[in-house]
Each structure stands twice: as C-alpha cells, then as structure tokens.
Structure 1
Amino acid sequence: MGLRANPTQRQRRLGLELRRLRLAAGLSVGEAAAVAGLGPPHLGHIEAARTAIPEVKLRALTDAYGCRSEPLVDALVEMGRSTGRGWWSDYKRHMGGQALDLAELEATSQSCRSFQWLYVPGLLQTADYVRELIGGGERDADPELRETYISFRLRRQDAVLSGALRLHAVIHEAALRMQFVPPHVMRDQLLHLVQMARLPHVQIQLLPFKAAHYPPLFNTSFVLFEATAPELDTVYVEHPASSPFLSEQQHLRDFSKTFEGLQAIALPPIDHRSEREFSTDRDSLGLIHHLLYTL
C-alpha cells in the first residue's frame, strides 16, 4: 500500500499524539519501533500520518510509552480504526480538506465552545444568512458550486444540532450589527438564535460592546472541540494562511482559559424561560430584543 499524500486532520493528530507519547517516554524512534515489531522508517511514517497502524501495534506502543489512560488509548484506537467516511464524503469533490476535516471533527467531538466576533457562528446561521454571506463573499464563484457550499453548511448544522454534541457559543455584539445581510435576514437570524437556545444542548451568550474588559485573543474567532480524552481536544482557529487546527497542550490551555474569560464577561445566556413582554434584565435575550427593535 502506498503512502498517503494528503492525510486528514484525524490521521495527522493520531501520528502527533503517538510521537508526543514517545518523546514523553524518552524513547527514540528505533527503540519504540523495536518494541512494537516495526521498522524505524515504518514508525516514522506512522507518526507523520503517511500510513496506518494496526490496533495491536498501537496498543503495544502506548503500553511501552507508559500510557495508563484507558480513555486516551481507546480514543487513539478508534482514530486508527476510523475510515473517515461520513455525510461529508458526499462533498469530497467540491470541498477542501479543511472543511471536510472540520465536519469530521464535529462528528467525533463531545462538545464545542465557540467564540465569534464578525459573523454568527456557522452552526447557528439560517439558510438565508448563509446564502447572503456566501453570495456576497464569492461573487465570482460558479452558481452551482456556491449552492454546494450552502448545502454543505446546512448539512453540518443538521448533523450537529440533531445529535448529542453540546454547543456553547459566545457571540460578540458586533457580529449582530454587521450589515453583510439585509435587515429582514438579520431579524430572522436573531429570532433563530432564540429558537436554537431552546435546544437542551445549545447555550448562547452575547458579548456586548459595553463589556468592562476583554481577555487576550478576544479578536480571534475560534472553536474549542472537546474529545472523549482531554489530551485529544482540538482548537480550530479561522486563519487563511496556516493550519487552523491546534493541538499543543499549551494552546489548548490558553484557548480554554480565554473562553472561560469570555464566558465570564458575556451577558447571561439566552434563556427562553425569561421571555416576557418587558424586561429590565441585562442578559443576552434582552440584547437581542434591543437589536430587533433597531432593525
């Protein structure tokens, strides 16, 4: 079997985690390969995500590395077993690897914490909002391809919001005041956020302009995905020039701390139980009511 030319994010992450465990155990590639009955070049290809690893070899390696976390080992085994096929496979001809990797990551995570300051998060966008954004940003795109982008976005929403993934979104007020879309589209979008907040696994907070302060990285949109094993958490950062997926433990700690700071200074979450004709509460629902009035 030939070596992979374009490994997926899941395959790269598996290789990176095996390398991280090996280095933490103080073993060279040659020493680790001998334990698992592999040639050093073979293990090198595994760590570089250029080839797969059988479960028995993977378990031999994690045992040699002194990894005693059953959730982590089981998660690594599952990553190795996975075919990577899902609903996103239908879009392989049209969508880039980054979009497909994101869809697979959403499908395999337990929860995600999202911060967005420029747009409404993709998983919470209405169809009309998606169409306006993509239509405005991809004016020269082929109409059929544009509809494929829209279809992909809506399929992501269906897959995530109808599943068990817990979503906690902090949205800056700026994203709800941007005039990228017509007022009636934004009005429907605001009402949609209130509806989505009714789902038991969705929590939405708004970060107002009048917040007292901002944590570091407040101007960086990101999503923190939580895996079955904390060591496999991943940060997705919207950046056009470099890899958007971060897995270093320090990165995970930094972004998790940043989200906690954002959560603390944001308004209380949208709570449908507080819906009433008039309210003086300073909360996310109250800000949405104000924004609706200004449209």
Structure 2
Amino acid sequence: MGLRTNPTQRQRRLGLELRKLRDASGMSAATAGSFAGLGSPHLGHIEAARTAIPEAKLRSLLAAYGCQRQTLVDALVAMSESTGKGWWSAYRKSVIGQRMQDLAELEATSTAYQTFQWVHIPGLLQTAEYMRALFESGEPQASPTDIDTYVDFRLQRQQAPMDAELRIHAVIHEAALRMQFVPLDVMRRQIEHLVEMARLPHVQIQILPFKTDVYPARFGTPFVVYEHEVPDLSTVYVEQPVSSPFVSDREQCRRFVDTFETLTKAALLPIDLPVEPGFHTRKDSLSLIQHLLYTL
C-alpha cells in the first residue's frame, strides 16, 4: 500500500499525539518501534500520518510509552480505526476542499463547539439565504452550481450537530450583526434565526457589544474550540487562509480556551426569552438584538 499524500486532520492528529507520547517517554524511534515490531522509518511514516497502524501495534506502542489513561488509549485507537467516512464523503469529488471535510469530521466527533466571530454569523447558526449571500459576495468567480454545493454542504454541517445535540456556545461581535454585505432583509431574518436557535437547550448565544473593555482580537482572527470527550484531544480551528488552521498543541489550545472564557464574561448575557417582568430594561444579548431589528 502506498504512502498517503494528503492525510486528513484526524490522521495528522493521531500522528502528532503518538510523537508527543514518544518524546515524553524519551524513547528513540528505533527503540519505540521495537516494542511494536516496527522499524524506525515505518514509525516515522506513522507519526507523519503517511500510513496507518494496526490496533495491536498501536496498543503496544502506547503501553511502551507508559500511557495508562484508558480513555486516552481508547480515543487514540478509535482515531486510528476510523474510516473517516461520513455524510461528507459524498463531497470528496466536489469543490468542497479537504479542510471543510476535516471540519465536518471534527464536528461529528466533538462534544462542544465554542466560537468567536466578529465579521459574520458562525456557520452552524447561519440561514441558507445568508450563506448564499456570503458565498456570492465572497466567491464572485464561483458558478451557481458551486454556490449550491457550498450551501448544501454547510446545511449538512448544521444538521449533524443538531441531531447529536453538540453543545454550541457562540460569542458574536455586534459588528457581525451590522455588516451590510448581505441584503438587509436577509440580515433581519438571520438575526431572527439566532433568537430561534437560542431556544434550543444545547445552544447558547452571546453578543459582544462595541462598548466593552475587552480587546476581542487577541489572536487577530475568529476561532472555534472543538472540545473532545478526552480534553487532551480538543482542537482549535483558526479561520485563516494560509498554513495549518488546526491547533492541537495543548498549551496553545488552552490560550484560546482562556480567551473564549474572557470573551464570555465581557459579552452581554446570553440570548434568553423573557421569563420575568422588566426583562426589557436589562442589558443583555436579546435586548441588543431587538434594538438592531428595530433599526434595520
């Protein structure tokens, strides 16, 4: 079997985790490989995500590295054994790139989705017409068929988390609600859709107003934290056009998580339908949204 030339994010992450564990154990590739009947070059290909590793050999490696956390062992085995196939597989020969397919697979295996956006509404909370307006303005060279594919793919991305009740927590900057690169009637319905989404028990939405003491661009770009049931395997997706958009280093992930927590404290209280008298007098996300709708 030939070596992979375009490994997925899951395959790269498995290789990175194995390399981290080997480095922590202090073993050389040759020594570690001997425990699993692997040569040093073969183990190098595994760590670089260029080839797979059988379950038995993987467990032997993990035992040699002293990895005794059963939840982590099971999660790494699951990553190794996964075929990577899902609803997104139908788009492999379409205009949808590998990065977006990696995101779909990541969402299917995550327990929570925490996102900060300050230019547009987070993808999992967008309406179809808002998506289409974004793609038409952002991809002017795309054909109508390609635009349809982009919209269909994003709608599919929304459906899977909703079915699985992936916990979604979004902090959206007020600027994203005031942008006018989509028609005003589309933006109005998009904002109303946010309120409807906030009715779901696993969706929490906060608005970060212009008037805040927190500088929202610590990392200079929007980001998403994908929580894994094993915290060590959580991933951050950074929205940038170049280099790798996926962050797996635990210390760097921690910085994004800390930043998100800071943003949630600076943002207005979550969108919550009124349940008590006088709700309209408090400063919260719903009050700001109602004001925006009035002024649109």
TM tier, shorter chain?
over 0.9
Please report how far the alpha carbon of residue 279 of structure 1 lies from its aligned counterpart in structure 2 after TM superposition.
0.6
SS of alignment partner, residue 164 of structure 2? coil
2:63 aligns with: 63
Q: Does the aligned pair in 1 maintain the 2:170–2:205 contact within 8 Å?
A: yes
SS of alignment partner, residue 12 of structure 2? helix
* Alignment CA distance shift 1:190-1:40 (3 Å): same
SS of alignment partner, residue 37 of structure 1? coil
Kindly report which structure 2 residues correspond to 1:86-97, keeping only aligned pairs within 5 A, or say none: 86-94=86-94, 95-97=96-98
Letter in 2 for 1:21: L
1:253 aligns with: 254
Q: Does the aligned pair in 2 maintain the 1:117–1:219 contact within 8 Å?
A: no
Please report how far the alpha carbon of residue 213 of structure 1 lies from its aligned counterpart in structure 2 after TM superposition.
2.2
- How many angstroms apart in 1 are the aligned matches of 2:54 and 2:291? 57
Kindly report which structure 2 residues correspond to 1:68-79, keeping only aligned pairs within 5 A, or say none: 68-79=68-79
Q: Does the aligned pair in 1 maintain the 2:214–2:263 contact within 8 Å?
A: no
SS of alignment partner, residue 84 of structure 2? coil
Q: TM-score, normalised by structure 1?
A: 0.97
SS of alignment partner, residue 93 of structure 2? coil
Kindly report which structure 2 residues correspond to 1:208-287, keeping only aligned pairs within 5 A, or say none: 208-214=209-215, 217=218, 219-274=220-275, 279-287=280-288
2:132 aligns with: 131
Please report how far the alpha carbon of residue 109 of structure 1 lies from its aligned counterpart in structure 2 after TM superposition.
0.5
Kindly report which structure 2 residues correspond to 1:196-215, keeping only aligned pairs within 5 A, or say none: 196-214=197-215
Q: Deviations over 1:195-252 (max 9, x none)?
A: 0011111100000001122256264200000112111110000010111001011111
Please report how far the alpha carbon of residue 70 of structure 1 lies from its aligned counterpart in structure 2 after TM superposition.
1.1
Q: What's the % identity of the aligned pairs?
A: 62
Q: Deviations over 1:161-219 (max 9, x none)?
A: 22221110000000000001111111101110000011111100000001122256264
Q: Does the aligned pair in 1 maintain the 2:32–2:64 contact within 8 Å?
A: yes
Letter in 1 for 2:212: A
Please report how far the alpha carbon of residue 274 of structure 1 lies from its aligned counterpart in structure 2 after TM superposition.
4.0
Gaps (5+ residues) in structure 2? none
- How many angstroms apart in 2 are the aligned matches of 1:263 and 1:290? 21
Kindly report which structure 2 residues correspond to 1:113-124, keeping only aligned pairs within 5 A, or say none: 113-124=114-125
1:174 aligns with: 175
Which deviates more, 34-43 or 17-26? Answer: 34-43
- How many angstroms apart in 2 are the aligned matches of 1:76 and 1:196? 33
- How many angstroms apart in 2 are the aligned matches of 1:275 and 1:158? 32
Gaps (5+ residues) in structure 1? none
Kindly report which structure 2 residues correspond to 1:93-172, keeping only aligned pairs within 5 A, or say none: 93-94=93-94, 95-172=96-173
* Alignment CA distance shift 1:287-1:182 (3 Å): same
Q: Deviations over 1:251-294 (max 9, x none)?
A: 11110110010011000101124488971110000010010011
Letter in 1 for 2:181: F
- How many angstroms apart in 2 are the aligned matches of 1:276 and 1:99? 45
- How many angstroms apart in 2 are the aligned matches of 1:40 and 1:168? 43
Coordinate RMSD, CA, aligned: 1.4
Letter in 1 for 2:87: W
2:290 aligns with: 289
* Alignment CA distance shift 1:3-1:275 (3 Å): farther
Q: Does the aligned pair in 2 maintain the 1:216–1:258 contact within 8 Å?
A: no
